[in-house]
Amino acid sequence: MAQTEMPARKRGRPESENADTPGGLSKEELHKLLRQMLLGRRFEEKTAESYAIGKIGGFCHLYIGQEAVTVGAFSCLRPDDYVITAYREHVQALVKGMAPRSVMAELYGRSGGSSKGKGGSMHLYSKEHNFLGGWGIVGGQIPLATGAGWAIKYRGGDQVCLCFMGEAAVNQGAFHESLNMAALWKLPVIYIVENNRFGMGTAWERASSLYDISQKAHAYDMPSLIADGMDVLSMRSTMMEAVDRARTEKMPTLVEARCYRFMGHSMSDPVSGVYRTKEEVEEHKAKDPIRVFIEQLQSAGVLSEEELTAMDKEVHAEVEDAAEFADQSPEPGLDELYTDVYAEENEHGRLFFDNKNRLEQA
């Protein structure tokens, strides 16, 4: 499993062990971060391929360009911490520890998928990894995250919950209602706004009267932070503060992670032309978080060409294996149609009002 387990360092204390390496992390730790970003990138390149040839259907939203946000943030987590997010979540599912096989099979709509093919690209979940998924209504996951935080507090646990959302979700009423409750009741939830500049075709400044998202936290007397979502290590150090606060002080934080979406909103949306120029996209691609991190590691002398090639090869293989598995995984059985609608069906009364019952009688 790709589950991140970095030393959850006490707040403030420097990682002096490796004071000389980037982020004060060991070579293994740095390689792990890179590998997670690479895996996400390659996985989604494969996803685009499979979508193009019709093996994946429906809405599909790629995360390419935003990998540093997730990898940096998750590196502050314990395996038992919770993550919930929207529909652009393939990479988050992987980095939280879900097997590429189960994720790809879900995208393919196969029985080997994490939801047995019932959810698809927008609805990835893993109870085993405390990955709460995978939601399609913009802003809908924010109250749910607040509920996860509530449950942690209710049980006196010391886990935290990361709630990811796009910047456009900030304008939803659900954001306002949730942050107030989280601050009022001191819930260990970190609300991470991935500000990739656009909600579909709408630039943030065309949708909000306030440019600086982090300032919205003041309305709830909640601490907030701004993170460079294009730099995995700065993302990590910013999140370390928020996670420590949530874990130790049970206080929520609003984090604005500034990043950029390299691809179109979904597979049907052209990369550029309508609401942003080719130049703008190229400009940001020049700051590709993976390339930048690679160069950083190389110049720090903790990543050799061979190591990089080997890692990329390994990741490629993992992705190919996942696609292979998905291809082989059988379609869900037709009997699956009526399972998982209800967790509990007693012997009384009727729950289904289509011709299911008649079919069964027949």
Is 65 an interacting residue with respect to Mg ion (CB under 5 A)? no
Contact status: 166 vs Mg ion (CB under 5 A): yes
Minimum separation from the CB atom of position 270 to other proteins (A): 11
What is d(CA 126, CA 13) in angstroms, rounded to the nearest whole number? 33
Size of the site for ligand TPP (CB under 6 A): 14
With contacts defined by CB under 6 A, name the span among 34-42, 46-54, 92-100, 166-174 that binds ligand TPP: 166-174
* 142 vs 135: CA distance, rounded Å: 10
| Residue 328 structure tokens | 């082989």
Cα 356 to Cα 101: distance, rounded to the nearest angstrom: 32
Could you tell which of Mg ion, ligand TPP, other proteins, none binds residue 88, using a CB distance below 5 to 8 A set by kind?
ligand TPP
Give the tokens for residue 86: 């929207």
Residue in 354, 13, 76, 15 with CA at minimum distance from that of residue 238: 76
Among 169, 189, 192, 230, binds ligand TPP (CB under 6 A): 169
Q: Is 346 exposed, middle or buried (0-12, 13-18, 19+ CB in 10 A)?
A: exposed
Q: Which residue is nearest to ligand TPP (CB)?
A: 166
Q: Is 166 in the site for ligand TPP (CB under 6 A)?
A: yes
Q: Do 119 and 125 form a contact (C-beta atoms < 8 A)?
A: yes
Which option in other proteins, Mg ion, a second copy, none does residue 93 bind, with CB closer than 5 to 8 A by kind? none
Nearer to other proteins, 72 or 117 (CB): 117
- Interacting partner of 216 out of ligand TPP, other proteins, a second copy, none (Cβ under 5 to 8 A depending on kind): a second copy
Choices 94-102, 197-205, 293-301, 342-350 (CB under 6 A): range interacting with ligand TPP: 197-205
The site string for ligand TPP over 252-271 (x = CB under 6 A, - otherwise) reads: ---------x---x------
| 85 contacts Mg ion (rule: CB under 5 A) | no
- Under DSSP, the state recorded for 134 is E
Report in angstroms how near the CB of residue 227 gets to Mg ion at its nearest: 15
* Residues found near a second copy in the complex (CB under 8 A): 171-177, 180, 183-184, 207-211, 215-216, 218-222
Coil, helix or strand for 67?
helix
- What is the rounded distance in angstroms from the CA atom of residue 106 to the CA atom of residue 114? 6
For other proteins, give the closer residue by CB, 13 or 211: 211
Q: In the complex, what is the shortest distance from the CB of residue 177 to a second copy, in angstroms, rounded to a whole number? A: 5
| Relative orientation angle of helices 100-107 and 27-52, to the nearest 10 degrees | 20
CA distance 168 to 199: 5
Q: How far apart are CA 90 and CA 98, in angstroms?
A: 10
